Structure formats: C-alpha cells, structure tokens
Amino acid sequence: MLAMGWRGGLVVFFSVPLTFALTLFSYYVLGYTLNRITLFALVFVVGIVVDDSIIIAENMHRHFHMKRLPFKQAAIYAINEVGNPTILATFTVIAAILPMAFVSGMMGPYMSPMPIGASIAMMLSLFVALTVTPYLGYHLLRVKGSEEHKEEQGLETSKIYKIYKKIEQPLLDSKSKRWSMLGITVVLLVISMIAFFTKWVAVKMLPFDNKNEVQVVIDMPEGTTLERTAAVAQDVAQYLKSVPEVVNYQSYVGSSAPITFNGLVRHYDLRGASNTADIQVNLLHKADREAQSHDIAKRIRPEIQKIAARYNANIKIVEVPPGPPVLSTIVAEVYGPDYDQQIKVAKQVEDILKNTADVVDIDWMVEAPQIEYKLEADKEKAMLNGVAPQQIVGNLTYLMGEHPIGNLYDEKSNDAVNIVMKLEDADKSTLQEVTNLKIKGQMGMVPVSDLVKVKQDTLQKTIYRKDQKRVVYVLADMAGGLESPAYAILGMEEKLKEMTLPKGYTVNELYMNQPDSENDFTVKWDGEWQITLEVFRDLGAAFMVVVIIIYMLIVGWFQNFKTPIVMMVAIPLSLIGIVFGHWLLGAFFTATSFIGMIALAGVMVRNSVLLIDFIEIRLNEGIPLKQAIIEAGAVRTTPILLTTGAVVIGAVIILFDPIFQGLAISLVFGAIVSTLLTLLVIPLIYYMTEKKKWEHNKEVEDTE
C-alpha cells in the first residue's frame, strides 16, 4: 500500500480493523466462538478484505494525480469508474468461497466457519470500501497545491506503462509470439495436472499437526497376565527415556488412559483387560524443538516395533489426528455370508496391507483363539465323597473371586476400608493349580480334580456389527514418503481379486456406500480415506458450482457469453502456481489447499473483471484495441499487484502452520503466478477473440 504513499497506506489500513471488528460482531451474532478455525478464517481473508479498499483508493489516487477534474468531481468519477466492477468482483469472490460451507460429513462443521466468516468479511469489506474509504481518500489522498492548477499527467510517461507496453506490445503485434506464449502456458498447465498422477504432488486429506504428545498403544495376546503386559510397557518406557524430545510419560497397564476425543472414536475407553496397556508420551513444547511430532513418531516406531517382536505384541504409535478423529487412517470393513470365512478374508486383507508400501501398525479387531476350561461337577464322584454339587460350585466361585469379609476403621479416615479375602494369584493361575484346590467333604478334604470333569473349549470371539451387518475390521496407519491412504487403497482392486475365496463367491470393493446385502464378500474402505473422498468430492462439486455462479454473474453484468469465458481462463492459470508451490516445498495437496484454490478462483476472476472492464471502457471511448489493452494493463497493474501482494502477505502468516500450510501455499504461489499470467495471457486471449469485432466496428466508423 506504500505504493500510494503513507497516506494511501493509511486509508487502506484503516479498513482492516474496521472490517474485522464488524466480522467479529457477526461471529457473536451467529454464535461462533473464537477458536482455531474462526481465527484462521480471519487470517485467511486478511489479504482479501483490503482488495476493495485498495481498488477504490488507488483509483482515487490516480485521478487526483492526473488533475483532470476538481478533487471532489475526480473522487466521484474515480469511484463510479471502478465501483460497479468492484461490486461484481466482490460477489465473484463470495461465490467462490461460500459453497464450501456445504461440505458434508464430519469435515462440514469443522470447515464451515471459514467460508461463512470469509463471506461475511467480504461483504463488510465492500461496505467499508464504498463508504469509509472514499471519505478518508478524499481527505488524505488529495495532491498538495492549488486545485486550479491542473497540469494533466499523461499515462504514457509512467514507468508501469513503459514496462507493460514493452512486454505486451510484441505479443500483440506478433502472431507467432502470441501463440508461443499461449503454448507455453498450456504446457505448464498440463504438467501441473500430470503432477497429481505421477505423485510429484501427493494428495492427502490433512497433514499431521505438530502436537506436544503421542500415545503408545500396547496389545498383547488375549489371556496374557498383567505382569507380562507390564514388562512390555516397562521396556517401551525405558526406550522412551532415551528419546531427547520426550519430557515424561504415564503408563496405564490393564486400564485405559484418560479418554480423549480421538480415544473415544477408537474405543480406547474399552481397553481394560490384562493384556492391554497405554503409554501417554509428552513431548517438548513445539517451540522448543525442531522436529515435528509426526517425524518423532516415525523415528521411534522402528525401535518400538523391535520390542514388540520380542514379546509377540502389537504396538501402535497413535498421533492426535489433524481433523475429525477416525477409527484408524485405513479401515477395511470385511462383510460376508459366514463369519468364520469373513475372518479368513480379513486375514488376507491384513497380509496385503503388510506388503503395501508406507502402511504401518497393521491390526485387526479379532481376538486370538482362547482356550476355555469348563469344570462340571461329577455328581457320582461328588456323592461318593460326600460333597453336594452345589457345594462344589459355591466353593469354587468363592475361591476364584474376591469377597469382603469386614471393614477396617481408621480414626483419621472418613470412610471405612474393606477387608477382602482372596487366594494368591499363584494358587489359581493355571488349571492344575485350580484342580489341586481342596473342598471339605464328609470323608475329609477332597481335591477338586476328584469332584469335577474338565472340558476344553474355544472361547467365542466378539462379533462386531455395523448397520446390523456382521463386520470384521482391519486397521492400519500410514508413515513414509506417501502418507496418504489414497495411494495405498487405490491399488487394492487387483490384489483383492487374487484372494482365496470359498467356491462360488467373489469379493466386491466399495469406497463410499455400505453393502446392501451379505450374500457375497465385500471390502468397504473407511477411516481417513472415507473423509478424504467425501471432502474432495464435496469441494470438487463446490468448485463446479463456483465456476457456474461466477460465469452467471459475469454474463449478467457484461451481457455477453464469450467475454466471461475469457475472464475465467484465470482460474486454471492459478493451478500452475499452486502445483509448483506444493512441489517446491514438498507439501501435500490437502483439503485446505483445495480451499485456497477455490478461493483463489474468485480472486483471479476479480482481477480479470477489473482488467477487461477497463479495456472495454477505453474501447467505448474510441481507443484502438491494442492501445486500449496496453492502457488497461498499465492502469490496472498497480491495483492488481497491490491486491496480490496483500493476499500473499496475509497468507504468509499461516505458511508455517502444518494444517493450514496447504491453504497458504495455494494463495501465495497461486496468486503470484496467476497474477503474472493474468496480466499477460488474459489480454492476449481477449485480443484474439475480440479482434475482428472491434476492427470491423472501427472500419464502419471510418466509412461513416
């Protein structure tokens, strides 16, 4: 804004706190709280809300320096000149942002404050730009000196005009140069789209956030004693002590750790058996360490897996999810007509995941086979030994359990302490020890082995259901070069077809919908993949709606079906910068990146509207087409560069946030590249599409 001097910067700067104050009041009215998302919505629009004020203030500044009219008339003329296209341009940005509020699924409420808050801020910024900014501009931007002395300063003498003409004029004059420029642009655009398929730029729902804690989840085989599980947890804890970023930890053996939102979705509140343990690991504050928490988790995983292998344990490193919590990053839901066969199919899916690159911490929600011993009273033997069957059952129940026999009273304690009688664990830990217990009979003490029949059986497994259908869950996480579940799942179709199935059955693969029946085997992918698919599907639909709405707005304004298409060429041009930025920084293309791309569509079309609107104003004044393009480009370059600079500076603030980095990259690199190409390519395309029309009109005028 200092391009207009400190006074111009002050005029534009004043619009920011005023717009934000009104936006925060709107948050209050709508019931939004100040949280990470709503605050980032303000940061997101900080570079956009000043655009309207920049355009108004810059045009007033330009007309004041031209000295063609008295200051008051110059101010009114300047506002009228850009007022209508500014209103249209603002609504194109709102049309680009607002449809994102209709994203469905769990991400909908998570993301909705951003498009709603940004749309409100844009409306308020337009109000401020058309009311407060002209008043401040009139009082602060006037040129010093007598108003009667008006030496008109020609546009041709400005540096911007000379630079723009030097670049654009050869492209307008030479057909080969013009097509070469367009060809290079198309090639760059094609390369940008190919980057997604070649994995130069990987797609992911959200990157991992940089948190101050991770969780180690330990699962031993069912039936493992508490002491054995504690030994595993102790070994893991000893290793964690050697990790420099670990501040402290808490171990929970045989009981669940304090439940978080993530733990609730993953059912960690049900972890209370002797074969389970959780370790809550607290890391150095992220400001005091260089490594991201996700990088630390990846670094400690191999050593912890070595400990797991020694104890035949399943140990997972669980991180706080960046978005809505899910059961796991990758979830395979296996449905089928027979539960035992479902387990066999699920085992094959588990084996496939183990051989898939970047897939780690593979597990399934199926208990290992557990032997169950049933002690049935042998009535004949019991009668011979003078023991009633009821006595056998009662005594064994009493001996195997814990029973209060009294209370201990302490003068210093408010509550009585229960006195519990139970056998030592060592006396009842094996079947042999249980059958060696003795029960009093008429002939004296009789061993349990002489009174019962021992039957061996396999304990029934827990059966999970979803939508009333039996399901076997296979779980996995991602860690490595490609951490998006999309790349692991999209290559599964052929692998699933190679599985061994019962004769006459096939396996179906579903990505979105639940299976209609259990007559055949089905593998339904869920977890982060489900959210990723839903979010990108909804954002893609929102993007199409954005394009249609913007086109309708521009057609309604210009009363022309061809010119809006030229203006909207700026939308794909932004993809070149967006993809390049993600590739350069090695970042994932995430949902926030997509949000940035959609928002940028409105901003870039806004620049095209301002540019072409001024071209047509100059054409209607009788200026030749090429000259009108050069003058429009020179006049509009300053406000376009200023608005782009404001967008870039506003986005740089969030460039270092792991979650919203994609949004910042899209805005920064997309705005820079798209702005440069918009100033060069859009006028060329307009010239090529309108050349015959305006040259014909000129010939008719000359004939008359």
Give buried/exposed letters for 77-90 (b at 16+ CB in 10 A, else e).
Answer: ebbebbbebbebbb
- Residue 283 CA to residue 291 CA, distance in Å, equals 11
Side-chain half-sphere CA neighbours of 254 within 13 A? 10
The tens digit of pLDDT for each residue in 661-689 reads 888 899 899 989 988 888 899 999 988 88
| Mean pLDDT, residues 207-216 taken together | 87
Q: Do domains 213-367+476-530 and 371-458 have the same CATH topology?
A: no
Which residues neighbour 135 within 8 Å (Cβ) at sequence distance 6 or greater?
Answer: none
The pLDDT value recorded for residue 281 is: 93
| Cα angle: 416, vertex 421, 423; to 5 degrees | 150
Please say whether the beta carbons of 347 and 521 come within 8 A. no
Tokens found for residue 272: 């209370």
Q: Does 152 have pLDDT greater than 60?
A: no
Which three-class secondary structure string do you get for 265-276? HCCHHHCCCCCE
Task: Report the side by side order of strands in the sheet with 314-319.
Answer: 246-253, 276-283, 213-219, 314-319
Q: What is the DSSP letter of 448?
A: G
647 — pLDDT class (breaks 50, 70, 90)? confident
Q: Place 701 in a pLDDT band, splitting at 50, 70 and 90.
A: very low
What is the structure's pLDDT at 5? 62
Average pLDDT over every residue of 537-551:
84
Mean pLDDT of 355-362: 87
Percent of the chain with pLDDT over 90: 18
Q: How far out from the chain centre does Cα 615 lie?
A: 40
List % helix, strand, coil for the chain (3-state, nearest 5).
Answer: 60, 15, 25
The tens digit of pLDDT for each residue in 165-192 reads 888 889 888 889 989 999 999 999 999 9
Element (H, E) at 478: strand 469-478
Q: Which two tokens stand for residue 16?
A: 């920011």
From CA 232, how far away is CA 331, in angstroms rounded?
Answer: 26
Structure tokens at 188: 């760059």
Q: What are phi and psi of 404, to 5 degrees?
A: -70, 135
More confident residue, 36 or 433: 433
Query: With 70 as the cut, is the pLDDT of residue 143 above it?
Result: no
- Phi and psi at 213, nearest 5°, equal -155, 155
CB burial of 198-234 (b: ≥16 within 10 Å; e: otherwise) equals eeebbbbbbbbbbbbebbbbbbbeeebebebbbbbbe
Q: Is the dihedral of CA 367, 368, 369, 374 positive or negative?
A: negative
What is d(CA 50, CA 20) in angstroms, rounded to the nearest whole number? 11
Averaged over 644-662, what is the pLDDT?
Answer: 82
**To the nearest 10°, the Cα dihedral for 218, 223, 225, 228?**
-50
Whether residue 193 has pLDDT greater than 60: yes
Stretch 124-151: mean pLDDT: 71
Distances from the Cα of 601 to the Cαs of 33, 35, 115, 675, in angstroms?
28, 27, 14, 11
Give 114: exposed, middle or buried? Use CB within 10 Å, 0-12, 13-18, 19+: buried
Alpha helical stretches, state H, 621-660 = 625-652
Task: Give the pLDDT mean for 384-408.
Answer: 83
- Exposure string for 648-684, b = 16+ CB within 10 A, e = fewer: bebbeebbebbbbbbbbbbbbbbbbbbbbbbbbbbbb
Q: Tell me how far apart the alpha carbons of residues 332 and 511 are, in angstroms, rounded to a whole number.
A: 10
Strand partners, 510: 524
pLDDT value, residue 580? 94
- 265/679: higher pLDDT: 679
Q: In this predicted structure, which of 307-321, 326-340, 592-606 has the lowest mean pLDDT?
A: 592-606
Q: Do residues 130 and 56 touch, judged by C-beta distance below 8 A?
A: yes
- Fold assignment, 155-200+560-704: Multidrug efflux transporter AcrB transmembrane fold (1.20.1640)
Q: Which amino acid is at 273?
A: A
C-alpha distances in Å from residue 426, one per residue of 110, 229, 403, 430: 53, 17, 18, 8
Secondary structure class of 373 (helix, strand, coil): strand
Q: For 123-133, what is the mean pLDDT?
A: 86
User: 550 vs 169, 603, 671, CA distance in Å?
Assistant: 30, 11, 18
**In whole angstroms, what is the distance from residue 645 CA to residue 47 CA?**
8
Over pLDDT 70: what percentage of the chain? Answer: 94
Domain coordinates of the chain in residue numbers? 1-153, 155-200+560-704, 213-367+476-530, 371-458
pLDDT band at 151; cut points 50, 70, 90 = very low
pLDDT at 154: 56
Residue 111: pLDDT over 80 = no
Q: Which residue has the tokens 């009493």?
A: 398
In this structure, are residues 374 and 455 in contact, taking their beta carbons and an 8 Å threshold? Answer: yes
Top-confidence residue, 312 or 101:
312
pLDDT score recorded for residue 278: 93
Mean pLDDT of 471-493: 84
CATH architecture of 213-367+476-530: 2-Layer Sandwich (3.30)
Predicted pLDDT of residue 584: 92
| pLDDT for res 144 | 58
What are residue 509's phi and psi, to 5 degrees? Answer: -120, 125
Residue-level pLDDT at 697: 55
Reply yes or no on domain 371-458 having CATH 3.30.2090.10. yes
List, for residues 227-236, the tens digit of each pLDDT value: 899 999 999 9
Choices 1.20.1640.10, 3.40.50.620, 3.40.1440.60, 3.30.70.330: CATH for 1-153:
1.20.1640.10
Out of 72-81, 462-471, 559-568, 637-646, the most confident range is 462-471
> What's residue 702's pLDDT?
45
Give the pLDDT of residue 642. 79
| CA 461 to chain CA centroid, nearest Å | 36
* Average of per-residue pLDDT values in the chain: 83
Q: Is the distance from CB of 665 to CB of 596 less than 8 angstroms?
A: yes
The alpha carbon of residue 165 and the mean position of all alpha carbons in its chain are separated, in whole angstroms, by 43
Predicted confidence at residue 696, as pLDDT, reads: 54
